[in-house]
Structure 1
Amino acid sequence: MEKRWKSSKNSVYSLGYHIIWCPKYRRKVLTEEIQKRLKELLLLKAKSLGIEIQTMETMTDHVHLFIKAKPVDAPHFIVGQLKGYTSRYLRKEFPKLRSRLPTLWTRSYYIESVGRISEKNIKKYIENQKNV
């Protein structure tokens, strides 16, 4: 059974993020072979960053990740590292990506924090603190 929280010297945390990004112009360039290599690269980079990829799925025109990270890792930094690393290696290993696109990934991405406690319950808990 997975432990719900992790801890460091100064904190107890459970930070999860759902991240989505697309190739430039949302082109359907992520073939099965490229998707396989992309997943390998994502796992390698995640390990070096100290983050956990809980779930991952790739389609021809976008990538979905659910990751767990430490509080000191900014989400923007994580996304930049994953996109930059995979772009560099995929464009080197699959030259057709260089000829079809000026860059592999768009500059934008979607990210949402994910937790086990709903926003509604957190607000209710905070509002009721004086009554305890």
Structure 2
Amino acid sequence: MYHLVFPLKYRKRVITEDVGKTLITICAEIPERYEIEFIEIGHESNHVHFLIQSVPKLSISKLVRILKSLTAREMFRLHPEIKLLLWGGNFWTSGFYANRVGLYAGKEVIQQYVQNQRKDKEEYKKIHSGQLKLF
């Protein structure tokens, strides 16, 4: 299980409620093709938190590449107005935060941390919650 944080390019504040719903739709299709399960997805306007479960054979770099490429491509396709705000053709920054759940904290501690992330009094919005699965 991993906690991932993906900031948007230039830290632009483009994730609205509508864009968040689109993100859920996109992420709902990913487990059909890859061994990735979303335990929790939440966002603020300029970054997204994922709490995900995957198989050990899928490296963290490949996992991040899959998530970033699929979500960015579909976001630009379904919300072309975002491309005007994020010049250069990138949705996400090149960097990311990743940590294994259990290395420093358990699932509940990570979920609490994610939910308590508030910058400039902006409300964290939990937009998806799922269950652990056995692969």
Q: TM-score, normalised by structure 1?
A: 0.72
Q: Which blocks of at least 5 consecutive residues in structure 2 are unaligned?
A: 106-135
Larger Rg: 1
Which runs of structure 2 are paired with 1:13-28 in the superposition (5 Å)? Answer: 16-28=1-13
Aligned length: 103
CA deviations 1:37-78 (Å, max 9, x no partner) are: 012212211332111111111221111011111110001111
Q: Distance in 2 between matches of 1:77 and 1:22?
A: 18
Q: Distance in 2 between matches of 1:108 and 1:117?
A: 21
Question: Per the alignment, do residues 83 and 41 of structure 1 end up closer, same or farther by CA in structure 2, a change over 3 Å counting?
Answer: same
Q: Does 1:30 align with 2:15?
A: yes
Q: Distance in 1 between matches of 2:52 and 2:82?
A: 26
Q: Distance in 1 between matches of 2:74 and 2:51?
A: 22
Deviation at 1:82, TM superposition (A): 0.7
Aligned twin of 1:54: 39
Percent of aligned pairs with the same amino acid? 28
| Cα RMSD (Å) | 1.6
Q: Which runs of 4+ in 1 moved over 3 A?
A: none
Q: Distance in 2 between matches of 1:47 and 1:59?
A: 26
Larger relative CO (CA 8 A, sep 6+): 1 or 2?
Answer: 2
Q: Which blocks of at least 5 consecutive residues in structure 1 are unaligned?
A: 1-15, 119-132
